[in-house]
């Protein structure tokens, strides 16, 4: 089974994938990591604007679902039966994963904007150290980008099979994931 995970910045996508890995034995891969690999190969920064530029370039030259396909290649090499792929940012990535696995599940993770901004402020990734107004501006651009190859997070959330609202603690998030796994009959 493949579980694709999309959501807004700082919502807890990686926390969900890590829990699936630790508790349920899933392989854990990220489309964002795939983009970071390309940036590093090119000797570029891994800050958000650079990553967006690379992501859009590759989507245009290799197809809109390319990042999901690249993450799947790594997942298959893991040898694990179940895989979580985070940071799905385009509906064509969802399509690529659905084509690969009949049992594919798309999960959206979200949280209140102020809560997500607090989380970002403390995590220390390049580009996270921005003021709240810039955070809101960036998010609006990522939710529905005018470029067809740009991020379409809102469309991904709307195409999801399940949603988790992550406004609490990590322990509360784990309980929500356990509930989802029970619904999916994966204990």
In this predicted model, what pLDDT tens digit does every residue of 19-75 receive, in sequence order?
Answer: 999 999 999 999 999 999 999 999 999 988 899 899 999 999 999 999 999 999 998
pLDDT for residue 125? 65
In the predicted structure, residue 162 carries a pLDDT above the cut 90: yes
Query: pLDDT tens digits for 71-103?
Result: 999 988 988 989 999 999 999 999 999 998 888
3-class DSSP assignment, residue 47: coil
pLDDT for residue 129? 67
Q: Are 70 and 58 in contact (CB under 8 A)?
A: no
pLDDT for residue 140? 85
In the predicted structure, residue 137 carries a pLDDT above the cut 90: no
Q: Enter the pTM of the model.
A: 0.89
* Domains, the chain, with CATH or none: 2-183 (3.40.50.300)
């Amino acid at each position: 089974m493949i579980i694709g995970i999309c959501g807004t910045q700082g919502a807890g996508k990686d926390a969900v994938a890590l829990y699936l890995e630790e508790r349920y034995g899933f392989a854990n891969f990220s489309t964002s990591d795939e983009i970071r690999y390309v940036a590093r190969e090119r000797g570029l920064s891994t800050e958000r604007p650079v990553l967006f530029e690379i992501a859009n370039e590759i989507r245009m030259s290799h197809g809109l679902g390319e990042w999901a396909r690249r993450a799947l290649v790594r997942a298959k090499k893991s040898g694990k039966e179940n895989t979580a792929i985070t940071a799905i940012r385009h509906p064509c990535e969802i399509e690529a994963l659905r084509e690969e696995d009949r049992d594919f599940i798309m999960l959206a993770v979200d949280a209140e904007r102020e809560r997500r901004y607090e989380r970002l402020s403390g995590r220390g990734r390049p580009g996270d150290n921005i003021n709240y107004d810039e955070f809101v501006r960036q998010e609006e651009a990522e939710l529905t980008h005018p470029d067809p190859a740009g991020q379409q997070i809102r469309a991904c959330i709307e195409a999801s099979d399940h949603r988790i609202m992550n406004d609490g603690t990590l322990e509360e998030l784990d309980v929500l994931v356990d509930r989802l796994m029970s619904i999916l009959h994966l204990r």
